């Protein structure tokens, strides 16, 4: 385990059948077919969902993502000045984003938001902890990056936003995961999702 003071949180929306995108995700259709419904809770939030978003954004010091998710959020249909980390609740100052990739892109649309880490996920987490100022280091995806972080034992908490959607295919969150038990520490239902928090490490 890494020595750390900041809390490392894996945070992602998931369907009832365990997918974090719909079928055929791409930079043009980042969430895949039907996958945008996973984020109704963030895009059309009720009062509880607004609070969930605001609390998460306020607590976040650094965001970590994998290259596939970066290609979506930096793509033509991705983040904008009005939409970024935390959806519309995150307008204004955005936390720094570390992208785990072997090969940084030659061109970045949102050049001021991203730093590329070429020496692995653990290195990205260590760098995130160093600059998070004891706030949360949030791994927001994609599914493979979160699954790998859990397998490597570097996640303190897993936050799932369970959306009442059946996608029937797409990117699974836990395919091939090592069997184990998590400790449920918080459940918060809202109009468009159930927000679940699990503790993974002691």
List the domains of the chain with CATH numbers. Answer: 8-16+31-191 (3.40.430.10)
Pairing of strands 157-163, 136-141: unpaired
User: Which pLDDT score, from 0 to 100, does residue 196 have?
Assistant: 98
Average pLDDT over residues 39-45: 95
- In this structure, are residues 16 and 170 in contact, taking their beta carbons and an 8 Å threshold? no
* Pick from 2, 121, 5: nearest CA to 65: 121
Kindly report the average pLDDT of the chain as a whole number: 91
CA distances from 80 to 13, 61, 105 (A): 20, 20, 19
pTM: 0.91
């Amino acid at each position: 385990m890494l020595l750390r003071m900041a809390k490392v949180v894996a945070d992602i929306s998931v369907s009832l059948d365990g997918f974090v995108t719909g079928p055929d995700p791409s930079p043009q259709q980042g969430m895949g077919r039907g996958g945008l419904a996973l984020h109704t809770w963030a895009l059309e939030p009720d009062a509880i969902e607004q609070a969930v978003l605001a609390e998460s954004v306020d607590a976040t010091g650094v965001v970590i993502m994998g290259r596939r998710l970066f290609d979506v959020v930096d793509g033509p249909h991705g983040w904008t000045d009005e939409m970024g980390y935390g959806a519309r609740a995150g307008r204004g100052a955005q936390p720094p984003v570390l992208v785990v990739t072997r090969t940084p892109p030659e061109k970045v649309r949102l050049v001021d938001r991203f730093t590329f880490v070429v020496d692995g996920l653990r290195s990205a987490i260590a760098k995130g902890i160093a600059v998070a100022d004891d706030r949360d280091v949030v791994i927001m995806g994609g599914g493979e990056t979160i699954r790998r972080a859990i397998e490597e034992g570097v996640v303190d908490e897993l936050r799932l936003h369970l959306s009442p959607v059946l996608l029937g295919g797409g990117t699974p969150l836990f395919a091939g995961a090592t069997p184990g038990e998590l400790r449920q520490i918080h459940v918060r239902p809202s109009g468009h999702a159930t927000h679940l928090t699990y503790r993974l490490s002691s």
